[in-house]
Structures are given as structure tokens and as C-alpha cells.
């Protein structure tokens, strides 16, 4: 009676240490291929070929259809978009504005210091206002001679629009910058003075309203 030889199902670590690397023949490799062929019914030549292909394939190989997040779109950036809009350069101009002679009576009778009314009107007039490159002539309205009611401040205007006014009306840059924008600013302030005086009159007529 023949003694049954046990089938090798896993490699022996001690034996595997004797195996050689590279393309040289490894002892015991044909026996292992024979065992695998016996179990699966695959010819020995095909089993060896599959083994060589699996050993030559690099472990770090990436499947052709696998696309990483970085390579999906080379133009995509994870950084927050930066706004390309830049602030327009401005230039400060010193301005001084008086109320009109026709407004003197209402200013004195409104119950509020006239200088405060003029300054409040100035703030309202220039809020959200933008200098136009189109020159406006200075108004011929008669201004009050009371200099205590005068509002003086510095106003930041668009440098590009001011440059157009300088080029067209003061190419030698000898005039006051206030003279170039005065025709645009003063009428707005006078209009706001009239509105404030009207608001004060309405409140005075209805003192109980909030």
C-alpha cells in the first residue's frame, strides 16, 4: 500500500527564504505550479504565465479608468476666488459751502443752529455722489455773507473724472480744484438745506408725532 503524500496548500516560510529573486529559476516553482494546475485543471504552462504576469505588475499601478481628484481638472483651484475688482483711485479736494441768501430767514427761524443744518445738508449731498467728468459752471445764486454758517471739509473724488476736467478746463493746473467741481456740488447741498428746513417745519407743526 502506497503512502499518501499530503498536498501543499501554503508556502513554508523557511523554504521560501531559500528562493532567489530575479529572472533565474526558483527551486520548487514547477512543483507549486503543478499542484495549482492539478487543483484548477489549468495547464502548467498557463499557470506559470499568469504567475509571471502578476509578479511583473507593479504594486503601485493605477487602473487606467481611475482618476484622482487632482488630475480630474487641471484648471480647478480649491482656493477661494479673489475678486478682480479694484478700488478706483481718488483725490481729496478741500471744499467750503455757504447757504443762500434766500435761505437765511428760514435758517434763523428753524430753531436749529444754522451751521448744523448746512453741515448736515453737506453730508447728505455727497453721500453716494460720484464726480462727473462733464464740467458744470458755477451757479449764479447769491450766497449768504455769514461765514459762520459755512461748511468746510475735504471730499474724495474720482481721480479719473477729475483728470478729464483738468485736461479740458485747466490744462496748466493753475485753478483751484474746488472751482472745477463746485458747479456739481453746491446745488446739491442747497437742495438738501431746503429739504431739512422743510422737515424741521413739519415736525414743529406736529410736535406730538414721533
Each residue's pLDDT tens digit, 83-95: 433 468 999 999 9
Per-domain residue ranges for the chain?
A: 90-205
Check: pTM over 0.85? Answer yes or no.
no
Q: What average pLDDT does the structure give for the chain?
A: 74
Q: What digits encode the pLDDT tens for the residues 175-199?
A: 899 999 999 999 999 999 999 999 9
Mean pLDDT of the 31-55 span: 48
CB contact set of 122 (below 8 Å; sequence gap of 6+) = 97, 151, 153, 189, 192
Rounded CA separation 131/117 (Å): 23
Report residue 147's pLDDT band, with 50, 70 and 90 as the boundaries. Answer: confident
Distance of CA 6 to the CA centre of its chain: 74
Q: Is the pLDDT of residue 59 over 70?
A: no
pLDDT at residue 19 in the model: 53
Q: Do 96 and 178 contact (CB within 8 A), yes or no?
A: yes
Q: Do 120 and 168 contact (CB within 8 A), yes or no?
A: no
Mean pLDDT of the 114-141 span: 95
Report residue 61's pLDDT band, with 50, 70 and 90 as the boundaries. Answer: very low
Question: Which tops the pLDDT comparison, 10 or 35?
Answer: 10
Phi, psi (degrees; rounded to nearest 5) at 106: -65, -35
Question: Which tops the pLDDT comparison, 65 or 148?
Answer: 148
Rounded CA separation 127/135 (Å): 20
Report residue 17's pLDDT band, with 50, 70 and 90 as the boundaries. Answer: low
Residue 162: Cβ within 10 Å count: 19
Amino acid at each position: 500500500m502506497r503512502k499518501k503524500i499530503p498536498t501543499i496548500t501554503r508556502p513554508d516560510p523557511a523554504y521560501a527564504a531559500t528562493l532567489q529573486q530575479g529572472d533565474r529559476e526558483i527551486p520548487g516553482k514547477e512543483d507549486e505550479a503543478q499542484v495549482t494546475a492539478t487543483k484548477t485543471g489549468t495547464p502548467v504552462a498557463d499557470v506559470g504565465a499568469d504567475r509571471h504576469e502578476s509578479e511583473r505588475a507593479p504594486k503601485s499601478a493605477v487602473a487606467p479608468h481611475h482618476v484622482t481628484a487632482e488630475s480630474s481638472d487641471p484648471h480647478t483651484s480649491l482656493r477661494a476666488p479673489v475678486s478682480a475688482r479694484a478700488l478706483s483711485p481718488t483725490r481729496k479736494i478741500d471744499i467750503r459751502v455757504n447757504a443762500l441768501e434766500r435761505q437765511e430767514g428760514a435758517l434763523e427761524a428753524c430753531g436749529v443752529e444754522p451751521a448744523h443744518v448746512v453741515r448736515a445738508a453737506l453730508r447728505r449731498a455727497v453721500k453716494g455722489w460720484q464726480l462727473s467728468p462733464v464740467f458744470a459752471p458755477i451757479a449764479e445764486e447769491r450766497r449768504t455773507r455769514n461765514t459762520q454758517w459755512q461748511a468746510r471739509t475735504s471730499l474724495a473724488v474720482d481721480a479719473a473724472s477729475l483728470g478729464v476736467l483738468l485736461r479740458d478746463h485747466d490744462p496748466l493746473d493753475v485753478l483751484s480744484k474746488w472751482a472745477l467741481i463746485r458747479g456739481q456740488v453746491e446745488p446739491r447741498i442747497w437742495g438738501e438745506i431746503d429739504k431739512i428746513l422743510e422737515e424741521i417745519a413739519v415736525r414743529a407743526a406736529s410736535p406730538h408725532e414721533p
